[in-house]
């Protein structure tokens, strides 16, 4: 059975309890009962998803999904990245607005859960029962990624309380949330602080929705001398700063799972349309270039899914001595979301005019996905993180116990106490060659390994000067894309083995990855600051896959085209 999400054949995901399965099935049922027509009507009316808010609140879904062990009313409560992955994928499969309200609720709640204020944690957990939607008040209009320049302030008062004054911009759910975590500074100091506000308070002013184009409410809000006491303060100083970064660390994971959900739905819709459309007496799916586009689109989605499942495992085993997630997580956010954009490019090329029609999921999905690589740090900001791990990942592997697929009921509590955010570049990884060697019998994996070797040689001839070259961000991005492919391929192989993906599929997937790697190498080759020694090594990275037409046709017919009409959303 396909590992891709198909809500009509929701397979048993090996959940350890009925509640987990119930959440996914009820959510799917709710969306399917609503149906595509109603969903599109609300989308075009830019209607805020109040119905979703009501449903998830009544069902207590966010309590189960977002709270770690020891909080909320369920004595068996646990936080599982695996469940988060599944739920995020399902919500995005039906619409980014639903996904977004869920995602920013996770972002909004996490500074409470990570903070030092125990009473506030229980208070927030109880509030979820009245309104599940939360908000994360970090960004400001003038400062974008430059969080150091935060202008929101708490003004100390003679009685020991504070008045909050300032404004925030781009804040999802800022119209309705009762739990809004706000990042600011104590006036007159450089001390950071995280505190709690409620959109229902009279001193909270929701100024506007700064977007007009879809259903999300992305608020500008002002705090007009909003009274704050110690009971509302979650963390201060360095801890507040670390909690802010760590919250984003945990939640950016949702971007990858959300993107996977979106393109999976787009894929079904595009495939069904193309198969049933007959031109010049032929199905559109029979044109040779369409076959290639569909196969590449499917292989990319499979890659996204396999990577995501594996990255989930590493999130779940994270601890003080195992922070490998610090690489896989930004890749989940950045690479997986950007792969989603590539999938849409392929599918849009296939279905052409159909992709503009107002009653399709596709026309909405294409627009909504473009936001994903831009949320929780742009591609550039995430690449700046990833690049720091090259020496450790490529040249200094460490030993780790093997990790299996983790779907059990352990609570991923470490994610709520990740600690200081420094020492990032010292993160250790296991040897990527273990995974690649295990599939070296596949001709295209072998070629890909030669590309990796050439990349390694490129790094070696570059020596310490590379760090200087990478001060040029344009150059850094090009070097980083190639590095990302190495780790991306590694986790996909590990995951494919667990899921029992066939050799044929994997060989075809690496056919695609060889082409991608070569394209990134050509991009790097064009950069003006390369040395002659670097240029020589970059040329060695440009390779062609080992062609195997029979295998391509087999994968296309048995895997990709077998999904025709496998999923059609209720009308
Ligand atoms: C739809 C939507 C919803 C959002 N929801 C929320 C929310 O709920 N809560 C919230 O707090 N925020 C939210 N945001 C804000 C989001 O996190 C910001 O987009 C992000 O902080 C980046 O800021 P910016 O887009 O203004 O880009 P800028 O910071 O202005 O960046 C401009 C360019 O400079 C580059 N750049 C900036 N800094 C660096 C660096 N250090 N290294 C390399 N390149 C750099 C960027 O990559 C970008 O290309 C949302 C944004 C959108 C679009």
Interatomic CA distance for residues 556 and 567, integer angstroms: 18
Please enumerate in sequence order all residues whose Cβ is within 8 A of that of 364, keeping only pairs 6 or more positions apart, or say none: 40, 43, 95, 96, 214
What is the share, in percent, of the chain residues with pLDDT greater than 70? Answer: 100
Same domain, 199 and 169: yes
Q: Which of 139, 206, 384 to mutate to test the pocket of ligand 1 (most atoms within 8 A of CB)?
A: 139
pLDDT for residue 376: 77
**Between 329 and 420, residue with greater pLDDT:** 329
In a domain, 570, yes or no: no
Per the CB < 8 A criterion, the answer to whether 284 and 564 are in contact is: no
Same domain, 481 and 342: yes
In a domain, 176, yes or no: yes
| 121 token code pair | 């944690």
Same domain, 218 and 336: no
**Which of 374, 392, 503, 348 is CA-nearest to residue 441?**
503
- As a dihedral over the C-alpha atoms of residue 73, residue 75, residue 76, residue 78, rounded to 10 degrees, the angle is 60
pLDDT for residue 379: 83
In a domain, 405, yes or no: no
| 546 token code pair | 């080992």
Query: Which atom of ligand 1 is found nearest the CA of 211?
Result: 1
Same domain, 227 and 367: no
Query: Which atom of ligand 1 is found nearest the CA of 138?
Result: 11
Same domain, 220 and 271: no
Residue 297 sits in a domain whose CATH number is: 1.20.140.10
Assign 13 a pLDDT band (cuts: 50, 70, 90): confident
Same domain, 218 and 291: no
Please enumerate in sequence order all residues whose Cβ is within 8 A of that of 556, keeping only pairs 6 or more positions apart, or say none: 291, 294, 295
Which pTM value belongs to this model?
A: 0.97
Q: Whose CA is nearest to atom 27 of ligand 1?
A: 144
Collapsing DSSP to helix, strand or coil, 174 comes out as coil
- As a dihedral over the C-alpha atoms of residue 248, residue 254, residue 256, residue 262, rounded to 10 degrees, the angle is -140
Query: Which atom of ligand 1 is found nearest the CA of 104?
Result: 8
SS (H, E, C) 383-403: HHHHHCCHHHHHHCCCCCCCC
Rounded to an integer, the average pLDDT of 532-545 is 98
Q: Is 474 in the pocket of ligand 1 (CB under 6 A)?
A: no
Collapsing DSSP to helix, strand or coil, 214 comes out as coil
In a domain, 377, yes or no: yes
| Axis crossing angle, helix 253-276 with helix 237-251, rounded to the nearest 10 | 20
Q: Is 334 in the pocket of ligand 1 (CB under 6 A)?
A: no
Interatomic CA distance for residues 275 and 286, integer angstroms: 8
Show which of 132, 163, 192 is a domain's final residue: 132
Interatomic CA distance for residues 519 and 516, integer angstroms: 5
Ligand 1 center to 382 CA (angstroms): 11
- pLDDT over threshold 80, residue 421: no
- pLDDT over threshold 80, residue 12: no
pLDDT for residue 217: 96
Tens digits of residue pLDDT in 191-206: 999 999 999 999 999 9
Integer angstrom CA distances of residue 117 from 71, 114, 129, 236, 531 = 13, 9, 20, 11, 54
Tens digits of residue pLDDT in 93-107: 999 999 999 999 999
Same domain, 147 and 128: no
**Which of 537, 431, 442, 544 is CA-nearest to residue 487?**
431
Ligand 1 center to 376 CA (angstroms): 7
Same domain, 220 and 264: no
Query: Which atom of ligand 1 is found nearest the CA of 174?
Result: 8
| 330 token code pair | 């930004």
Assign 1 a pLDDT band (cuts: 50, 70, 90): low
In a domain, 407, yes or no: no
In a domain, 246, yes or no: no
Show which of 237, 265, 280 is a domain's final residue: 237
Rounded to an integer, the average pLDDT of 353-358 is 96
Q: Whose CA is nearest to atom 48 of ligand 1?
A: 378
pLDDT for residue 380: 86
In a domain, 489, yes or no: yes
* Of the candidate ranges 2-16, 180-194, 245-259, the one whose mean pLDDT is the lowest: 2-16
Buried b (16+ CB within 10 A) or exposed e, 342-362: bbbebbbebbeebbeeeebbb
Rounded to an integer, the average pLDDT of 407-425 is 90
In a domain, 404, yes or no: no
Residue 16 sits in a domain whose CATH number is: 1.10.540.10
Same domain, 479 and 501: yes
Tens digits of residue pLDDT in 28-48: 999 999 999 999 999 999 999
Residue 144 sits in a domain whose CATH number is: 2.40.110.10
- pLDDT over threshold 80, residue 422: no
Q: Is 485 in the pocket of ligand 1 (CB under 6 A)?
A: no
Q: Which long-range contacts (CB under 8 A, 24 or more apart) does 354-359 make?
A: 354/270, 354/273, 355/270, 358/40, 358/44, 359/36, 359/37, 359/40
Q: Is 311 in the pocket of ligand 1 (CB under 6 A)?
A: no
Q: Is 327 in the pocket of ligand 1 (CB under 6 A)?
A: no
Q: Is 43 in the pocket of ligand 1 (CB under 6 A)?
A: no
Question: Would you tell me how many other CB atoms lie within 10 Å of the CB of residue 498?
Answer: 14
Show which of 132, 153, 178 is a domain's final residue: 132
Q: Whose CA is nearest to atom 38 of ligand 1?
A: 145
Q: Whose CA is nearest to atom 28 of ligand 1?
A: 144
Assign 375 a pLDDT band (cuts: 50, 70, 90): confident
Same domain, 364 and 268: yes
Number of domains making up the chain: 3
- Residue 54: give the domain boundaries: 7-132
Ligand 1 center to 92 CA (angstroms): 21
Interatomic CA distance for residues 50 and 215, integer angstroms: 10
* Of the candidate ranges 159-168, 181-190, 372-381, the one whose mean pLDDT is the lowest: 372-381
SS (H, E, C) 527-558: CCCCCHHHHHHHHHHCCCCCCCHHHHHHHHHH
Ligand 1 center to 518 CA (angstroms): 30
Same domain, 195 and 298: no
Query: Which atom of ligand 1 is found nearest the CA of 168?
Result: 11
Same domain, 117 and 141: no
Rounded to an integer, the average pLDDT of 448-474 is 96
Q: Which long-range contacts (CB under 8 A, 24 or more apart) does 19-23 make?
A: 19/64, 19/74, 20/64, 20/80, 20/83, 23/59, 23/61, 23/64, 23/65, 23/83, 23/87
Tens digits of residue pLDDT in 312-334: 999 999 999 999 999 999 999 99
> What's the Rg (C-alpha) of the chain?
24
């Amino acid at each position: 059975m396909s590992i891709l999400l198909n809500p009509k054949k929701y397979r048993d995901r090996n959940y350890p309890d009925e509640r987990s399965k119930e959440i996914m099935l009820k959510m799917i049922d709710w969306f399917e009962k609503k149906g595509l027509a109603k969903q599109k009507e609300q989308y075009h009316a830019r209607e805020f998803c109040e119905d979703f808010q009501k449903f998830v609140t009544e069902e207590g879904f966010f309590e189960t999904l977002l709270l770690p062990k020891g909080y909320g009313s369920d004595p068996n409560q646990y936080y599982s990245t695996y469940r988060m992955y599944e739920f995020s994928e399902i919500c995005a499969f039906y619409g980014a607005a639903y996904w977004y309200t869920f995602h920013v609720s996770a972002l909004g709640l996490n500074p409470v859960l990570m903070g030092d204020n125990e009473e506030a944690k229980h208070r927030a957990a109880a509030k979820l029962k009245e309104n599940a939607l939360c908000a994360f008040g970090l960004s400001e209009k003038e400062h974008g990624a430059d969080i150091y320049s935060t202008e929101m302030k708490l003004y100390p008062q003679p009685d020991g309380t504070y008045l909050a004054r300032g404004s925030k911009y781009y804040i999802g759910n800022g119209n309705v949330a009762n739990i809004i975590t706000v990042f600011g500074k104590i006036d007159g100091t450089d001390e950071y602080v995280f505190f709690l506000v409620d959109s229902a308070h009279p001193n909270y002013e929701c100024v506007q929705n700064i977007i007009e184009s879809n259903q999300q409410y992305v608020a500008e809000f002002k705090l007009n001398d909003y009274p704050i006491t110690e009971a509302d303060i979650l963390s201060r100083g360095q801890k507040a700063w670390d909690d802010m970064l760590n919250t984003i660390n945990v939640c950016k994971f949702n971007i990858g799972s959300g993107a996977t959900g979106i393109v999976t739905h787009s894929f079904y819709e595009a495939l069904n349309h193309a198969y049933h459309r007959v031109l010049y007496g032929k199905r559109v799916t029979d044109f040779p270039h369409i076959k290639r586009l569909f196969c590449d689109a499917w292989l990319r989605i499979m890659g996204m899914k396999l990577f995501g499942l594996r990255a989930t495992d590493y999130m779940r085993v994270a601890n003080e001595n195992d922070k490998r997630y610090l690489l896989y997580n930004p890749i989940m956010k950045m690479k997986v979301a950007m792969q989603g954009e590539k999938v849409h490019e392929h599918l849009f090329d296939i279905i052409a005019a159909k992709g503009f029609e107002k009653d399709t999921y596709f026309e909405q999905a294409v627009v909504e996905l473009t936001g994903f690589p831009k949320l929780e740090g742009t591609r550039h900001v995430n690449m700046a993180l990833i690049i720091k791990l090259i020496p450790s990942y490529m040249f200094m592997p460490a030993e780790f116990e093997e990790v299996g697929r983790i779907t059990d009921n352990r609570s991923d509590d470490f994610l709520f106490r990740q600690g200081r955010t420094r020492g990032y570049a010292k993160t250790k990884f296991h040897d990527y060659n273990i995974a690649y060697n295990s599939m070296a019998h596949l001709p295209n994996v072998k070629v890909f390994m030669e590309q990796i070797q050439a990349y390694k040689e490129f790094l070696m001839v570059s020596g310490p000067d590379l760090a200087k070259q990478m001060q040029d961000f344009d150059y850094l991005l090009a070097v980083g894309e190639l590095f990302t492919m190495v780790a991306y391929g590694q986790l996909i192989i590990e995951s494919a083995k667990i899921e029992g993906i066939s050799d044929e599929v994997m060989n075809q997937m690496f056919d695609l990855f060889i082409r991608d790697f070569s394209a990134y190498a050509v991009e790097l080759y064009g950069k003006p600051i390369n040395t002659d020694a670097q240029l020589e090594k970059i040329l060695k990275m440009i390779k062609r896959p080992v062609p195997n037409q029979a295998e391509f046709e087999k994968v296309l017919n048995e895997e990709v085209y077998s999904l025709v009409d496998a999923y059609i959303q209720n009308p």
